[in-house]
Copies of this chain bind each other. A is one copy, B any other.
């Protein structure tokens, strides 16, 4: 009985499988769900089931989608000559929030990482190549993470596509609001190397 009735222990165990949710947080959440309205608990359970049932991948860009094509690929107002390449579907969200980008996406499904056994065939690089070779693409913007694997992936894709289209990479540098004193030297080095003329 040290953990309460079996269904409560079971819910605690299930919740503690989620990333960043430890045993104590899981228990607090389980008690909260137990105390909440029946309808709240049902809505949460329903939302979990629905996300698995209804969300798949877009057949064009491999972003998350409720139908065969995602809302971005289906949106006639987007600029079809631009493809922004990201590692994961979650990376599309912050880019969309900037409202700075009106082109399409291509979700690789990860980054090249030979030590983790992730090679070119594990990512959707061939599909990207086909989209570019089909023509009409003015620019491919590489927005993989500014990490070792993300950079390596960007370099690799740039080598593949450079002959077919213009390939650019997101700028690396100091985040807005940062101060120089606390900047790490790699970021500061990138900011220095990527300095821009003020006109």
Q: Which A positions have Cβ atoms within 8 angstroms of B?
A: 1-8, 10-11, 13-15, 17-21, 25, 27-34, 38, 40-55, 64-66, 70-72, 75, 88-90, 92-93, 96-97
Contacts and interface: CB of A to CB of B under 8 A. Distances in A.
A46 B41 CA distance: 10
Contacts of A1: 70-72, 75, 92, 96
A52 B41 contact: yes
B7 A50 contact: yes
Contact of A49 (B31, B42, B72): B42
Given A14-B44, A19-B32, A29-B19, A2 B97 contact: yes
Contact of A8 (B2, B20, B64): B64
Contacts of A72: 1
A7 B44 contact: no
A27 B72 CA distance: 20
A30 B49 CA distance: 11
A48 B45 contact: yes
Contacts of A90: 27-28, 31
A93 B27 contact: yes
Q: Which 3 A-B pairs have the closest CB atoms?
A: A45-B45, A11-B47, A45-B48
17 contacts: A1-B72, A2-B93, A2-B96, A4-B92, A5-B54, A7-B50, A7-B55, A7-B66, A10-B50, A10-B51, A13-B47, A19-B28, A19-B29, A21-B29, A27-B90, A33-B51, A38-B52
B41 A71 contact: no
B5 A65 contact: yes
| Interface hub of A1, A34, A46, A92 (most chain B Cβ within 10 A) | A1
Contacts of A71: 1, 5
A47 B47 CA distance: 14
Given A1-B96, A96-B2, A97-B2, A30 B17 contact: no
